[in-house]
Amino acid sequence: MATSLKNLSDYDPAGIPDGSMLRIGIVVSEWNEEITAALLEGALKTLKKHGVPEENIHIRSVPGSFEIPFGARIVADLYSPDVVICLGCVIQGETRHFDYICQGVTHGITELNLDYNIPFIFGILTTNNLEQAKDRAGGKHGNKGDEAAVTALKMAALRNR
C-alpha cells in the first residue's frame, strides 16, 4: 500500500505484543540526520509505550544507510537482541548513486534476515526528495520509526513463540 494511502503511525495498540521482556537493537544512519533522528525518536517512543525497558534498547550509529547491514550484524553479535531495527534515509539525487545504495542496503538487510535467527526490520526511507522524507518522519504521513517499532514487536513475538 502506498504511504499516501496510510499513516505510518496508525495502528491498533491492542494488537501489539508486550515488549517488557525483549532486548532490542537499533542501528541508525547519521546521513540525513534530521530525518533519521526523527525516525529514531518515533521508534523509541513506540517501543517504550509497549513496555520495552530503556536499558534493553541498544542503539548504535553508522555513517550512512549503506553501512546499516554491517552495523546491524555487529549489534546482533554484541547484544544478542530479539530483533534489530534498521533506520535510515536515502533521498534521490541527480545520479544513480541512490539506486546502488538502496539496492545494497535492501540486499544486506535481506541477507541478515536469512543468516540470523532474529528479525532485522527495514526502517529505511527511500524518497524522491527531502519533503517526502519529512512527511514520513513525523509529518503528514506519520513516522516510519513508529511502524518499524511495531513491526519489530510483532516479529519478535512471532520468533519467540
Of 50, 58, 97, 141, which is the active-site residue? 97
- Spatial neighbors of 22 by CB under 8 A, at least 6 apart, are 52, 56, 81, 82, 83, 153, 156
Owner of C-alpha cell 513506540: 46
Residue 97 appears among annotated catalytic residues = yes
Q: Which residues contact 88 (CB under 8 A, 6 or more apart)?
A: 28, 29, 31, 32, 36, 39, 64, 65, 68, 105, 123, 124, 125
Helix (H) / strand (E) containing 46: helix 33-49
- Other C-beta atoms closer than 10 Å to the C-beta of 13 total 9
d(CA 147, CA 49): 13
Active site residues: 97
